[in-house]
Amino acid sequence: MFPAVSLDAVSLDVGTALRTLVLTLDLLGTFVFALSGAVAGVRRRLDLFGVLVLSFVAANSGGIVRDLLIGATPPAAIGDWRYLAASIMAGVLIFFWHPGLRHLRNTVLVLDAAGLGLFCVAGAQKALVFGVQPYMAALLGMLTGIGGGIARDVLLSEIPAVMRAEVYAVAALAGATVVVAGDALGWHSATMACAGAALCFVLRLAAIRYDWHLPVARSGEADAAAAEADRGRDGR
């Protein structure tokens, strides 16, 4: 005879597994985005304190906004010491190791794409755990992914990448949508999280490699400049 297993125990195990998955993805995304923030700070010649501040802001801004919106208070980044520890660890690592990084700009872009992928799926997963509607869970996943990058770029007086018509927010939304669709179909959460993060990461790097852009409104001056440039290339 097999021992009886109650439905409540199974439900509890599934809930615990989902929370563990969300926490793991969140901490991984925190560490990776903190690395990207720290590398950006080193590129701008910030001191150690500035690098650590930038690493924490880049790693946790999106998650804090997400948690406030879904009612998960206090936000995990404030209530759990592991988020601060991951951010500081990444900042210190980059601050003292950066001489070995030959191409800091490329490093920032790759780390940012990896953090975007991890955070968009973690954000969507956490929103679903808190009972948010699927379409809003996908949007919150996107917000979680782009929030840290926006805060990092604003502190560095740069136009956020999400505002520069690059495939950035769209990549995050695509990754989050994979997670939401998998949940609706009852597919394995960890598998769909990996698939969503991979899709977001590949889309972001492909957009950088092949210069994919969303449509941009053009003024008359911009059109004239573009036409002049075309004439110059044609030798006319």
Q: pLDDT tens digit string along 157-192?
A: 988 878 876 788 999 999 999 999 999 999 988 899
Q: Are the CB atoms for 55 and 91 separated by under 8 Å?
A: yes
Query: Residue 9: pLDDT band by 50, 70, 90 thresholds?
Result: very low
- Position 103 scores a pLDDT of 61
Q: Burial of 186 by CB count in 10 Å (0-12 exposed, 13-18 middle, 19+ buried)?
A: exposed
Q: Which residues are within 8 A (CB) of 225 and not within 5 positions of it... i.e. 6 or more apart?
A: none
Q: Are the CB atoms for 187 and 177 separated by under 8 Å?
A: no
The CA distance from 96 to 55, in Å, is: 14
Q: Are the CB atoms for 119 and 150 separated by under 8 Å?
A: no
Structure tokens at 140: 């919150």
What is the rounded average pLDDT of the residues 114-140?
91
Which residue type occupies 167?
V
Q: Among 27, 204, 214, which Cα is nearest to 114's?
A: 204
| Residue 136 DSSP class | H
pTM of the model as a whole: 0.77
Q: pLDDT tens digit string along 197-206?
A: 999 999 999 9
Q: Are the CB atoms for 216 and 167 separated by under 8 Å?
A: no
- Position 12 scores a pLDDT of 40
| Residue 98 DSSP class | G
Q: pLDDT tens digit string along 37-63?
A: 998 898 899 999 999 999 999 999 999
Structure tokens at 69: 């919106």
pLDDT at 78 over 50: yes
Task: Bin 188: left if φ > 0, else alpha if -120 < ψ < 50, else beta.
Answer: beta
